[in-house]
């Protein structure tokens, strides 16, 4: 791969040229070995004589490109982008060149397109934070940290902190998904097996029982009637389930009902505690990252409340902000807010006394993430036998409904 570079040689002379390398970092190392300081590095686009092919496939490629722009960008991809951007800037590559290279190298087309738009704004004279602010793909918290880094002359460090934060959020998200996936898959499989038993197996026995003219138990009658109904109305049943799920999701997001639904989520049996620990870890980690970047505590609290995602935590951090504006300490305020455990209030008070609020908040986030890990492990170990018993119970009920009339018929024949 070829790169066009500009570098400052000893004595201040600017030199330029084309150099081959596997990555940008390898080119930077080659330039430095020559005793020069890299100013800009741009990937050389290879021009191919493929005009006819481009015309034939242009429309289809354009459609595919637009389809790939739909959807979300994983947190992992964003973290990789910020990490690589930090590395390049630390290596001496300017922001414009770094963005250009990352736009070409990024496989996620939606993120690549966003980086390209940011580069255009940067080339027009905008600061990196201002350019990112114009694109919804980059979260406000990340932009604030980057802006603080620009003002303090520590942009590479700020980008690295954003990458660290996003990687932790991605890991936290995966923990929650892993806790929910196993029981969800087992439940879905058991429902599928139950559906086959009721709609395929049991109707065949129904014909036999009708020919025998025997009185069927209540369980068997219910199973037969339900199986017939399901076989005739399975589309209606699935549509109803989907409608209920979509309705609950909409209610959970509607601003009128969201506060109530957020409180309900935290009180759910088993999963409520998981949600609480995950939200607490995420919120305290966010506040720690913002304060560590030098963002004023009032602004950091306001931003944490707005991006918390749960109205209970949003109100809690908003209350802390209002109290802080009046001069109250974070630890004393947290002690009077029900959602915060005493440990959080104590750690905040210690952080204020030692001038290490960000470090104490990170310790709080670490503790909740550790608790979340342990909770998920315990939950998985408990749910496994419970789900096995549940599936076994469902199969046993169906078997009882089928074999009970058979036993009755055999007894009558004897």
Q: Which domain holds residue 303?
A: 264-387
Q: What is the pLDDT of residue 56?
A: 47
| H helix or E strand, kind and range, residue 140 | helix 140-152
Terminal-residue alpha carbon distance, the chain: 87
pLDDT, tens digit, 9 for 90 and up, residues 369-396: 899 888 888 887 887 788 888 888 888 8
Residues 39-63 pLDDT 10s: 667 777 654 444 444 444 444 444 4
Could you tell me if 375 and 277 are in contact, meaning their C-beta atoms sit under 8 angstroms apart?
A: yes
Q: Are 369 and 351 within 8 A, CB to CB? A: no
Residue in the structure block whose two tokens are 């109707």: 203
Tell me, yes or no, whether 36 and 85 share the same domain: no
Ranges 84-98, 123-137, 180-194, 256-270: which has the least confidence: 180-194
Domain assignment present for residue 159? The answer is yes
Q: Give the model's pLDDT for residue 27.
A: 77
Q: Identify the band that residue 317 occupies on the pLDDT scale cut at 50, 70 and 90.
A: very high
- 218 lies in some domain: no
Instruction: Give the C-alpha separation, 2 to 46, whole Å.
Output: 9
Provide the pLDDT for residue 348.
92
Q: Are residues 282 and 327 both part of a single domain?
A: yes
Q: Indicate the residue among 141, 165, 189 that finishes a domain.
A: 165
Q: Classify residue 146 as exposed, middle or buried by CB count within 10 Å of its CB (0-12, 13-18, 19+).
A: buried
* Burial (Cβ within 10 Å: 0-12, 13-18, ≥19) of residue 219: middle
Same domain, 287 and 379: yes
Give the tens place of pLDDT for each residue, 106-162.
Answer: 888 888 899 999 998 888 888 898 999 888 888 888 888 888 888 888 888 889 989
Domain identity same for 19 and 128: no
Residues 383 and 289 in one domain: yes
Question: 77 and 141 in one domain?
Answer: yes
Check whether residue 156 and residue 270 sit in a common domain. no
Overall average pLDDT of the 284-310 stretch: 88
Residues 6+ apart with CB under 8 A from 17: 4, 5
Residue 191 confidence (pLDDT)? 81
Q: Dihedral sign, CA of 277, 279, 282, 286?
A: negative
pLDDT confidence of residue 220: 81
pLDDT of residue 315: 92
Number of domains in the chain: 3
- pLDDT for position 53: 47
The residues, ordered by sequence, that sit 6+ positions from 238 with a Cβ below 8 Å of its Cβ are none
Tell me the average pLDDT across 21-26.
74
Position 67 scores a pLDDT of 44
Would you say residue 135 lies in a domain?
yes
- What are the backbone angles phi and psi of residue 2, rounded to the nearest 5°? -105, 145
């Amino acid at each position: 791969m070829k790169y066009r570079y500009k570098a400052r040689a000893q004595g201040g002379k600017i030199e330029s040229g084309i150099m081959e390398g596997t990555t940008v970092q390898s080119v930077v190392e080659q330039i430095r070995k020559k005793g020069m300081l890299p100013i800009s590095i741009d990937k050389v686009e290879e021009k191919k004589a493929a005009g006819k092919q481009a015309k034939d496939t242009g429309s289809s490629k354009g459609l595919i490109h637009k389809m790939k722009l739909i959807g979300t960008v994983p947190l992992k991809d964003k973290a990789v982008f910020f990490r690589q951007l930090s590395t390049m800037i630390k290596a001496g590559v300017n922001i414009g060149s770094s963005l250009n290279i990352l736009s070409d190298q990024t496989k996620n087309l939606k993120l690549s397109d966003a980086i390209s738009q940011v580069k255009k704004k940067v080339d027009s004279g905008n600061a990196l934070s201002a350019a990112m602010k114009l694109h919804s793909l980059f979260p406000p918290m990340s932009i604030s940290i980057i802006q603080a880094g620009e003002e303090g002359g520590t942009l590479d460090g700020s980008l690295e902190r954003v990458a660290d934060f996003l990687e932790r959020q991605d890991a936290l998200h995966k923990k929650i998904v892993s806790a929910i996936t196993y029981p969800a898959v087992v439940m879905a499989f058991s429902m599928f097996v139950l559906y086959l038993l009721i709609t395929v197996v049991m109707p065949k026995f129904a014909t036999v029982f009708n020919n025998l003219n025997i009185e069927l138990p209540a369980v068997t009658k219910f199973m037969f009637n339900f199986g017939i109904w399901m076989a005739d109305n399975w589309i209606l049943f699935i549509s109803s389930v989907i409608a209920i799920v979509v309705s609950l999701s909409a209610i959970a997001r509607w601003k009128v009902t969201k506060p109530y639904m957020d409180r309900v989520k935290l009180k759910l049996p088993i999963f409520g505690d998981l949600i609480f620990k995950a939200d607490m870890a995420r919120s305290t980690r966010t506040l720690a990252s913002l304060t560590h970047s030098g963002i004023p505590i009032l602004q950091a609290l306001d931003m944490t409340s707005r991006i918390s995602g749960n109205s209970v935590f949003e109100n809690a951090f908003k209350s802390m902000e209002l109290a802080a504006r009046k001069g109250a300490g974070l630890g004393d305020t947290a002690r009077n807010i029900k959602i915060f455990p005493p440990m959080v209030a104590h750690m905040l008070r210690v952080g204020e006394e030692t001038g290490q609020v960000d470090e104490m908040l990170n310790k709080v986030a670490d503790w909740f993430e550790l608790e979340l890990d342990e909770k998920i492990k315990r939950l998985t170990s408990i749910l496994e036998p419970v789900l096995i018993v549940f599936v076994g119970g469902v199969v046993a009920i169906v078997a009882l409904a089928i074999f009970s009339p058979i036993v009755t018929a055999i007894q009558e024949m004897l």
